[in-house]
Amino acid sequence: MKTILITGASSGIGKHTALAFNKTGHQLILLSRRKDKLDSLASELNVPTQVIAADVSNTMTLQAHIDALPESFRSIDVLVNNAGLAQGMDPAYSANFNDWQTMINTNITGLLASTHVVLPTMVKRNQGHIINVGSVAALYPYAGGNVYGATKSFVHQFSKNLRADLLGTNIKVTIIAPGVVKTDFFDVRFKGDKSQADAVFKGFKPLEPEDIARTIHWAVEQPEHVNINLIEVMPTRQAPSTITIKRDN
């Protein structure tokens, strides 16, 4: 039985990742800001579970929360860095700077904070697995994806550098890069404008959070000598765009 810490666990990919590992009997630490949703999820699980209601980007309190866990939960085997968000799709020259800062705080600072707390014990025990949920936005630019894509590019490059630092240990690092997934991600991105969020999914079948949860579970269940570096997952009806040219009329 592994101990698995999932950030952003209250909904979407994080919630379904918890449900996937619940089926195979791994004990869980669920971290999110929304305690009511965490408690609701925990009530559905039949494995030992701890709930941490905290902002993952608050580096001052995260260590204290981990230190306060029962002894049997403190040796974390798998960290799923899932917490992340996008805000806005305005071009860079008219974007809201606070939106940029929020994305940096969650997607970069939050991921660094949780990794920094968990990694030393993994190294000491010489075992562990860090799953970083990135995005195809790190690999393929699109208009309006300016800072969001940049934060996910950070996640991808940081993950590769972690692999370099950890060479010679038994600690694995995996990047999961989803395309369009039907979660509340777009509700947040469009700041509650449901019509804009729903329009993203019009006319095709997006990925479901269960699809990414299943992929994460598969990567974790590989034998000790197998490290999955990167998995890029898109809906069948999504593909990278070609490089474009804007011509004068």
Q: Judge whether 148 counts as a catalytic residue.
A: yes
Break the chain down into helix, strand, coil percent, rounded to 5. Answer: 45, 15, 40
Helix H or strand E encompassing 34: none
Contact 9, 34 (CB under 8 A): no
30 with 52: CB under 8 angstroms?
yes
Give the three-class secondary structure for 139: coil
Write down the H helix ranges in 68-110. 97-103
84 contacts 133 by C-beta, under 8 angstroms: yes
Catalytic hit among 93, 140, 142, 148: 148
Locus of tokens 């010489």: 126
Signed CA dihedral, 3, 128, 210, 109: sign only: positive
CA 131/CA 77 separation, integer angstroms: 11
> What SS3 class is residue 56?
coil
CA atoms within 13 A on the CB side of 144: 7
Q: What angle do CA 80, 7, 95 make, to 5 degrees?
A: 110
Rg (Cα) of the chain, in Å, rounded? 18
Residues designated as active site: 148
